[in-house]
Amino acid sequence: MEQLSKTLLQQQKSEIVEQARQQVERELPERVIQIGEGNFLRGFIDWMIHELNKKGLFNGSIVAVQPTPRGKVVPKLNAQDGLYTLAQRGVEAGIEVDRREVITSISRGINPYSDWQDVLKVAENRDIRFMFSNTTEAGLTYLREDFQENISPLSFPGKVTAFLFHRYTFFEASAEAGMIIIPCELIDNNGDHLQEIVLQISKDWNLPEAFTAWVQEHNLFCNTLVDRIVTGFPKDSIEKFNEELGYEDILLTVSEPYHLFAIEANKDIADLLPFQEAGLNVHWKPVAPFRERKVRILNGAHTLMFAAAFLAGIDTVKEAMDDNYISRFIRKGVYEEILPLLNVPEDEKVGFANATLERFLNPFNQHYLLDISLNSIFKWRTRILPSFMEFVQKNDTLPQALTFSLSALLAFYRPQRTEDGQVFGIRLESHTPYPIRDSAEVTHSIEKLWQGEQQDLKYTVQEFLSNEEFWGVNLAQIPALPETIQKHVEHILSHGIRSAIDTFLND
């Protein structure tokens, strides 16, 4: 079967191919640089720019830059001339949808580690006004590194700084050369945070003050909040997809139809990116209320469920929702422990929680719990701990489901063996290994605290809870928490997750 490419668009006949051919023939100029090429950007930003282009509202393409040296997507993108298929599958206004479309907004991908000069050439292009990014929460962090003009910085903010500095120099500090920078990483005030790091790096590199003034006065860093479940490449059903499409697509991306994008920027920027005119669910407003609601409920529910569900032998979010025990545990956590503390009008938060659980039940989206498990210590801290602490303060007692999810997290992070630097846990019941995907610092600390396991689970729990690097506070000081976690972990390890859930739900 032939692979998707511009040549294939000329050769094949089908509705989906014909639409893509018409778009590709327009040969739109590059107007966006994007740091990142992952599933989320392909299923969200690149699709949105594609929608604008289809309606003649933007008329520009995107250059995608690989953010880490180990990236594998850029060669695949270039092999397909920047093309890939997006399958939006789910339920929309009560109606089942399964839309497939070739996304034509990406012109090419660049590996900056081998082709940094190409990135600098993009900085010299006056048409480029927008920068989007998604490098995960781990990417939007400060790294002290050296500046060498001809070599790509390692970190994402380092790349942004070097890109902006080259642009500033090339356009001789022109105000019009300033960029509109729209990061999509799921952290508080992502735009402000990126700008702070860029300014810190400029200082580390001794870049001129006139440059930092230009960064602040003529570049706009927007805070954002994104929401769409993009499950990415459908590894279990790709053959069926390819057969139906009539071509092979190594970057096929699956998402739900739902999407929401909140961007903190004024009308001038909204006019340059007329997403709303294209019918997209984009809000040009302060993002904090959207963020609080979404991170605590949707991401919170994912982080709440993944360890318990996975250890119970479940692979996907949908299967977790369909499991009687796991689903009761999730619903208790969301409706009784997260929602009551959330400072959002009652009907709005209940409505969002109902809609979220419906989205989790989307029969098409195979959202793997192991994908969600990435960096879960940090996620538990940012997505669940605020609800947990507020619950304890208000009620003077422990939130049962949230406490259980922390116990399941500790059981999930129980190392069994290490191979080539990758730590593996072992799944209860099936005894199959799984990778514990977190930073080396986290997995190393966890390995150490489980070493005394045979002798003393009490020690493991105490060390886990009192690790302030993980939680920012000493959780071992919360009355009854160490004993409760120990009791749950003992129960999970000896009788399994469902039995442990049954016990705590009936306590």
Ligand X SMILES: O=P(O)(O)OC[C@@H](O)[C@@H](O)[C@H](O)[C@H](O)CO
Contact residues for ligand X (CB under 6 A)? 186, 227-229, 298-299, 302, 372, 374
Nearer to ligand NAD, 32 or 489 (CB): 32
Nearer to ligand NAD, 133 or 212 (CB): 133
Residues 6+ apart with CB under 8 A from 362: 89, 90, 91, 229, 256, 318
Question: Using the 8-state DSSP alphabet, how is residue 271 labeled?
Answer: H
Q: Which stretch binds ligand NAD (CB under 6 A): 221-229, 244-252, 402-410, 479-487?
A: 221-229
Nearest one of 110, 107, 125, 86 to 35, comparing CA atoms = 110
Minimum distance from residue 140 beta carbon to ligand NAD (Å): 8
Question: Using the 8-state DSSP alphabet, how is residue 475 labeled?
Answer: G
Minimum distance from residue 290 beta carbon to ligand NAD (Å): 12
Instruction: Count other Cβ atoms within 10 Å, centred on residue 14.
Output: 11
Q: Please list the residues that pair with 102 across neighbouring strands.
A: 85
Name the closest residue to ligand X (Cβ).
302
Q: Which listed residue (48, 229, 252, 308) binds ligand NAD by CB under 6 A?
A: 229
300, interface contact from ligand NAD, ligand X, none, CB < 5-8 Å by kind: none
Q: Footprint of ligand NAD on residues 373-412 (CB under 6 A)?
A: none
Nearer to ligand X, 229 or 282 (CB): 229
Q: Footprint of ligand NAD on residues 119-138 (CB under 6 A)?
A: 134-138
372, interface contact from ligand X, ligand NAD, none, CB < 5-8 Å by kind: ligand X
Minimum distance from residue 227 beta carbon to ligand X (Å): 4
Residue 237 phi, psi dihedral angles, 5° rounding: -130, 20
Residues 6+ apart with CB under 8 A from 411: 307, 311, 428, 489, 492, 493
Minimum distance from residue 407 beta carbon to ligand NAD (Å): 24
Q: Please list the residues that pair with 263 across neighbouring strands.
A: 224
Minimum distance from residue 310 beta carbon to ligand X (Å): 13
**Radius of gyration (Cα) for the chain, nearest Å?**
24
Q: CA-CA distance, 308 to 385, in Å (whole number)? A: 17
Residues 6+ apart with CB under 8 A from 394: 341
Helix runs in 178-232, H state only: 190-204, 209-218
Q: Footprint of ligand NAD on residues 156-195 (CB under 6 A)?
A: 156, 186
302, interface contact from ligand X, ligand NAD, none, CB < 5-8 Å by kind: ligand X
Applying CB under 6 A, the residues found at the interface with ligand NAD are 36-40, 67-68, 71, 134-139, 156, 186, 226, 228-230, 232
